[in-house]
Structure 1
Amino acid sequence: MRHSFGPRFLLVLTATVGLALAGCGSTSGDDEGSGNAPAASAPALHDALPESIRESKVLTFAGDSHPPYRTVGQDGKTITGIDKDFQEALGKVLGVRTEIAIVDNLPAALQGMLSNRYDAFNGPVKATAERENQFDTVTWMTTRTSYVLPRKAAAGVEDAGDLCGTKVAVTKASISAEQLAHLSDYCAQRGEDKVTPIELDDTNATVLAVQSGRAHAAATTQASAIDIVKQQKDLTYVTQTEEQGATKDNLALFVPKTSGLGPVMHKAFQELFENGDYARIMEKWGLTDVMVEKPLLNVATSER
């Protein structure tokens, strides 16, 4: 069964095709390339930044197309979303201009940071002890994996367990891919067929797979599912439970451990919690149910 593509996802798809033709590395600066940086609201944190960032007054984030965190405009450069809002707020704290370099997927973002092409990646990325061997992480929200599917196909699907034996589109190397594997194990334990994953580069591709009938559902973060069904009224979602193998994952900002940015970004996030910007941004995007009480530095390692 085919479902019509909504304008938001056609817009992102067009931008994605344009980026593929033009090559990766397009950026979006807060001041449209003017080079202007805001005055730091926390001068001590600005002074604690690496010298190269202090001199350039630019903090470069990697970012794949992942609404509502990052939505790429039709021009392939303009970016809106939660991530953009947080980056602008962090830039005001640190006294730098922020830019987003578009990458294809999570592995490209992580490797790009290790290769010094990007300073940070604001996720959504799960903080794990393995990743914290190479990166400092600042957890600023939590999530559970949800599954988006057409309303017309949702008859009889009361929870994620009803997706056993179906094809589910998922972003490769993502939190959702990990949770989908747990769901498959849950299905097998019940004597049902496992879920067949269709691994794709980004969230937009997974939603398009659902709308085209290639996949029965798309696995994504809870925040992304909330945004998708808000934009696409013909879609709905179910959320994976702990019984079905779900865990409440810590989502974090990542910076290379060798950069020394971790403690600085942690304190910058603390400023956003204290000045009210954190709550304001989360409320703006309807994410109050996945907020945390305070930002946490290297939570996976500290919990071991």
Structure 2
Amino acid sequence: MTARSRRAPLVTVLAAVSALALGACTSSSAIEQAAAVQEGVTTGALVVNTTRDQDRVHTQRNQAAIDLLPDGAFPDGKLQVSVTQGAVPLAFFADDNATVIGNETDIATLVADALGLELELVVNDWSNWPLATQSGEVDATISNVTVTEERKELFDFSSYRVDQLGWLVRADSGRTIAEAEDVAGLTVGVSSGTNQEQILLAWDAANTEAGLAPVTIDYYESYNDAVLALQSGRLDTYVGPNATAAYSAATSPQDVAIAGTTNGGWPDTAEIAVATKKGNGLAEAFTAALNGAIADGSYAQVLDRWGLGAEAVTESRTNPPGLGS
């Protein structure tokens, strides 16, 4: 295969964090400051409340969903949900560096509302969510978990978002990326060892076989560094989780845009879902709770609040087909 370059990540030397890097900030104060600079200047920019005092979206109590709960479930009236903080806008610390906020916490709120339960968020490292869910330390995990056939052997799932990858470009690029040939000859940023890297390599191989120009792949471990490279013209596009890219584009529409999306399970379809312990009887109730929120519009409000409307599902499904099937 054609040789590719591997460049060292750019060093962030800017005195102020660019609004372009919003999607990767672990400190929400930087996000709020950048958004505040844009407010009143950028037409159509998404402005997000990153304080601890969240005006959360709520849904109504759903008796049909409650009736699907197994007998004796939640005797203390609390729903404990594992989240992984640090990935804006999915789950990250508010300006107090203690309160976790984001799309995943809002989805958890909808489920708790529908089931008439008090929500308790438990912050876990990503690597700990399977054990925490299986052991009963938490009742569920809502942490950008993709449904796979292997995971379905241990967990039940209630889908709530399409697993999408986003192609981030400069706002003035005019690029549209929908298929392999659209990246031929481009310099593309990606994180090593990821699913998006595998898709990019597969697309490049197909292009090479078809006689098209090869892709130059630059590897970045830091999203901020990749965005700065995009801004300076060192990259034509960066491919990564659409949630992060879409948030950047929504908060900085004058600077970056989404040129297209590709399902994270390409060439198959993948979905993000609430994970519960296999066979404990909670999944059907969670699925019904999510479908109630979809029907009353609160689900759409949550996704739109974080710039993730493009990842909405029309229906939550219990244990949909997973990757590896």
Same-fold call, TM cutoff 0.5: yes
| Structure 1 pair 5–39 and aligned structure 2 pair: CA distance change class (3 A) | closer
- From the two aligned structures, give the one with the greater helix fraction: 1
1:164-243 residue pairs with structure 2 within 5 A?
166=187, 168-170=189-191, 176=196, 179-190=199-210, 192-193=213-214, 196=217, 198=219, 200=221, 205-206=222-223, 208-213=224-229, 216=235, 217-232=237-252, 233-240=254-261
Residues 23, 88 of structure 2: 8 Å contact kept? no
Shift of 1:136: 1.0
- Percent identity, aligned pairs only, is 15
Shift of 1:53: 3.5
- 1:129 paired with 2:149, answer yes
Residues 63, 100 of structure 1: 8 Å contact kept? no
Q: Deviations over 1:19-75 (max 9, x none)?
A: xxxxxxxxxxx999xxxxx99653872782685733262322222433332232233
Distance 1:31 1:285 in 2: 16
Distance 2:83 2:262 in 1: 31
Aligned residue for 2:190, secondary structure, equals strand
Residues 89, 243 of structure 2: 8 Å contact kept? yes
Shift of 1:300: 0.7
| Structure 1 pair 218–49 and aligned structure 2 pair: CA distance change class (3 A) | farther
Specify every segment of 5 or more residues in structure 1 that has no aligned partner in the other structure, as ranges: 17-29, 33-37
- 1:5 paired with 2:20, answer no
Aligned residue for 2:229, secondary structure, equals coil
Match of 2:79 in 1: 58
- Give the TM-score taking structure 2 as reference length: 0.65
- Greater RCO structure (CA 8 Å; 6+ sep): 2
* Amino acid of the structure 2 residue aligned with 1:226: A
* Amino acid of the structure 2 residue aligned with 1:257: K
Of residues 277, 284, 287, the one that matches 1:256 is 277
Match of 2:6 in 1: none
Residues 26, 86 of structure 2: 8 Å contact kept? no
| Structure 1 pair 12–162 and aligned structure 2 pair: CA distance change class (3 A) | same
Q: Deviations over 1:88-136 (max 9, x none)?
A: 121112222223333444x443344234443322243322222211111
- 1:140 paired with 2:160, answer yes
Match of 2:138 in 1: 118
* Amino acid of the structure 2 residue aligned with 1:13: T
Aligned residue for 1:141, secondary structure, equals strand
- Give the TM-score taking structure 1 as reference length: 0.69
| Structure 1 pair 53–61 and aligned structure 2 pair: CA distance change class (3 A) | farther
Distance 1:117 1:130 in 2: 22
Distance 1:95 1:263 in 2: 16
- 1:162 paired with 2:196, answer no
Distance 1:87 1:166 in 2: 38
* Amino acid of the structure 2 residue aligned with 1:234: D
Aligned residue for 1:210, secondary structure, equals helix
| Structure 1 pair 54–300 and aligned structure 2 pair: CA distance change class (3 A) | same
1:87-126 residue pairs with structure 2 within 5 A?
87-105=108-126, 107-126=127-146
Q: Calculate the aligned-residue CA RMSD, in Å.
A: 4.2
1:14-53 residue pairs with structure 2 within 5 A?
14=27, 41-42=62-63, 45=66, 48=69, 51=72, 53=74
Between the two proteins, the alignment pairs up a number of residues equal to 275
- From the two aligned structures, give the one with the greater strand fraction: 1
